[in-house]
Amino acid sequence: MAEEKPTAYKFSFGPWNIHSGADPFGPPVREEFAFAEKLKFYKKLGFDGVQFHDDDVVLDDTPHEEMVKGARQVKKMLDDEGLVAEFIAPRLWEDPRTIDGGPTSNDPECREYAFNRARRAIDLAHILETDKIVWWPAREGTYIREAKDPIISVGHIVDFINSMLEYDKEIRILGEMKPNEPMDLSYIPTTGHFIGVAYKTADPARVGVLIESAHCILAGLDPSDEMAYALWHKKLWGVHLNDQHGLKFDEDKAFGSVNLRQAFNQVWVLEKAGYGRNGEFIGLDVKAMRTQKKERSTRHLANSRRMFLALLEVVRKVDEAEIERLRALRDYEALEVYILEHLMGIAP
């Protein structure tokens, strides 16, 4: 039997991953690159895909005709750089109408705003030629438990997804779950929750997930097991690889920078499952350190990609027969050292 060719992975990031270094406690520390300048970095850094918020394409509330014109201009810019759009994510968390959430707001007018904005994101997706909408439910939760009805909220979320599925018969919805931040507690905080909800929507085959490593760690879960769970359901359509130092604010650290072994296991699970063979991207969601100077503020992207590819080499070098042998012996002590030696480059 002919051997299958190794997956040629494609990488993506969002324009927000090149940023001015502002944080909740301090102002920008480097000038923001213009969008056109950011696009120039993609190919140079080894990336082919651009992740978009809807308002990275055109500002919200732009009249329809102008919106179409603006989106076509962005499509042309992508074409000129040889790039493609991976997904559009409606940025539902910055508008005054979503202070208390979009789909789960108590105010029906605010819910309606969220529904309309998501449909508009689908229009943009058409123009940018992607069939993926990513939904990160940033404010769909509560600061205090009593603020919303938690049962009704789950129903609102299903209605929201259905409204997108009904609006467009091709579009796919990828839930990007996160247990907290900016909310104290989010509804449907994990991939497992979202997949449960997916099966209750009008077209479960078009509802899947994008998994971010840091979000899993924030939920006390292992990212590679989360990915495996979604892969089993054939619902892993995107990833946001990054890293996170324990249970605190969402750090979006460079991939592999905190826990190499955990990163290795993510690459392992993706590679073994053939992730990427249907055009899925290795997406990153990483922040540059605030201390970084402007002209060196894309290093975290190159570094994360480098770590993915280096870990991929390790994954491909590891001998599966040896792993099977040690599994059969139940000698996990030996298996552990076998993996660690490979990770450290000291395998005999």
Cα separations (Å) of 323 from 57, 154, 189, 236? 47, 42, 34, 25
If the CB atoms of residues 17 and 153 are measured against Mg ion, the closer one turns out to be: 17
Applying CB under 5 A, which of residues 54, 56, 212, 251 lies at the interface with Mg ion?
A: 212
**Buried-exposed string 246-277: b where 16+ CB fall within 10 A, e elsewhere:** eeeebbbbbbbbbbbebbbbbbbbbbebebbe
Q: Is 65 in a helix, a strand, or coil? A: helix
Instruction: Say how far apart CA 190 and CA 323 lie, in whole Å.
Output: 30
Instruction: Say how far apart CA 246 and CA 231 lie, in whole Å.
Output: 25
Nearest approach, Cβ of 90 to ligand GLO (angstroms)?
8
If the CB atoms of residues 60 and 250 are measured against ligand GLO, the closer one turns out to be: 250
Q: Which does 60 bind (CB under 5 to 8 A by kind): Mg ion, ligand GLO, none?
A: none
In the DSSP assignment, the letter for residue 87 is: E
Applying CB under 6 A, which of residues 124, 285, 297, 298 lies at the interface with ligand GLO?
A: 285
- Which residues between 213 and 272 bind ligand GLO (CB under 6 A)? 240, 250
Residue-level length of the chain: 348
If the CB atoms of residues 176 and 226 are measured against ligand GLO, the closer one turns out to be: 176
Applying CB under 5 A, which of residues 54, 86, 140, 285 lies at the interface with Mg ion?
A: 285
| 280 near Mg ion, judged by CB under 5 A | no
| 132 near ligand GLO, judged by CB under 6 A | no
Q: Which does 134 bind (CB under 5 to 8 A by kind): Mg ion, ligand GLO, none?
A: ligand GLO
CA angle 271, 277, 278 (to 5 degrees): 135
Residue with tokens 């939760």: 141
Q: Is 104 in a helix, a strand, or coil? A: coil
Nearest approach, Cβ of 34 to ligand GLO (angstroms)?
20
Q: Which does 237 bind (CB under 5 to 8 A by kind): ligand GLO, Mg ion, none?
A: none
Could you give phi then psi for residue 199, rounded to 5 degrees?
-70, -15
Nearest approach, Cβ of 341 to ligand GLO (angstroms)?
34
The pairing of beta strand 11-13 with beta strand 49-53: parallel
Residue with tokens 């050292």: 337
For residues 162 and 197, the answer to whether their CB atoms sit within 8 Å is no
Applying CB under 6 A, which of residues 54, 60, 140, 176 lies at the interface with ligand GLO?
A: 176
Applying CB under 6 A, which of residues 134, 197, 228, 269 lies at the interface with ligand GLO?
A: 134
Instruction: Say how far apart CA 56 and CA 134 lie, in whole Å.
Output: 14
Instruction: Say how far apart CA 29 and CA 50 lie, in whole Å.
Output: 24
- Which residues between 82 and 101 bind ligand GLO (CB under 6 A)? 89
Amino acid identity for residue 138 in this structure: A
Question: 177 CB contacts (<8 Å, ≥6 apart)?
Answer: 137, 186, 188, 189, 190, 191, 193, 194, 209, 211, 215
Applying CB under 6 A, which of residues 9, 11, 47, 136 lies at the interface with ligand GLO?
A: 136
Could you give phi then psi for residue 229, rounded to 5 degrees?
-60, -45
Q: List the catalytic residues.
A: 53, 56
Nearest approach, Cβ of 290 to Mg ion (angstroms)?
19
Nearest approach, Cβ of 4 to Mg ion (angstroms)?
30
CA angle 204, 210, 216 (to 5 degrees): 115
Applying CB under 5 A, which of residues 53, 91, 240, 305 lies at the interface with Mg ion?
A: 240
Size of the site for ligand GLO (CB under 6 A): 9
Applying CB under 6 A, which of residues 178, 235, 253, 287 lies at the interface with ligand GLO?
A: 178
Nearest approach, Cβ of 240 to ligand GLO (angstroms)?
5
Under the rule (CB under 5 A), what is the footprint of Mg ion? 212, 240, 285
Contacting positions for ligand GLO (CB under 6 A): 89, 134, 136, 176, 178, 212, 240, 250, 285
